[in-house]
């Protein structure tokens, strides 16, 4: 694990926490299409924007609420290179919602662990 120290908001002392990710992340917004089933059992297929993306998974705000362990399908428009406006390669990915943070209305922040992915 990678150890990082950050200053505390309440004091000058250092707080330590560990970075759980072992692989680099691409910061968003990254356009994607998301398919799944929401908490009311209704299927959805919506355009979305990923906050960040790595080899093991992604983080995003989803405009639908889903259950933890929900299975989701993504078509991700990877940037051609960092900072590019246009899209490069398309990637199809299947994943499982591992972290759910309820948002306002019917939205939620989710962390997804990939089960598999492939270029399109």
pLDDT digit string, tens, across residues 16-40: 544 555 678 888 899 999 999 999 9
Model confidence over 45-83: pLDDT tens digits? 999 999 999 999 999 999 999 999 999 999 999 887 766
* 74 inside domain: yes
Q: Is 54 exposed, middle or buried (0-12, 13-18, 19+ CB in 10 A)?
A: middle
Q: Residue 30 sits in which domain range?
A: 25-119
Report the pLDDT value the prediction gives residue 32, as an integer from 0 to 100.
Answer: 96
Q: How far is CA 62 from the centre of its chain?
A: 9
Report the pLDDT value the prediction gives residue 43, as an integer from 0 to 100.
Answer: 98
In whole numbers, what is the pLDDT of the chain averaged over residues?
83
* 11 inside domain: no
Q: Which residue has the tokens 């990710």?
A: 21
**Domain holding 41: CATH number?**
2.30.110.10
On whether the CB atoms of residues 50 and 27 are closer than 8 A, the answer is: no
């Amino acid at each position: 694990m990678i150890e990082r120290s950050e200053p505390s908001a309440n004091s000058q002392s250092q707080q330590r926490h560990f970075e759980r990710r072992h692989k680099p992340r691409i910061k968003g917004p990254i356009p994607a299409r998301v398919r799944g089933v929401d908490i009311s059992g209704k299927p959805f297929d919506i355009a979305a924007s990923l906050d960040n993306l790595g080899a093991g998974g992604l983080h995003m705000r989803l405009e639908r609420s889903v259950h933890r362990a929900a299975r989701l399908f993504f078509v991700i428009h990877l940037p051609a290179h960092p900072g590019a406006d246009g899209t490069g390669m398309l990637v199809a990915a299947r994943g499982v919602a591992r972290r759910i943070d309820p948002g306002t209305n019917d939205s939620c922040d989710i962390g997804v662990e990939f089960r598999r992915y492939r270029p399109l």
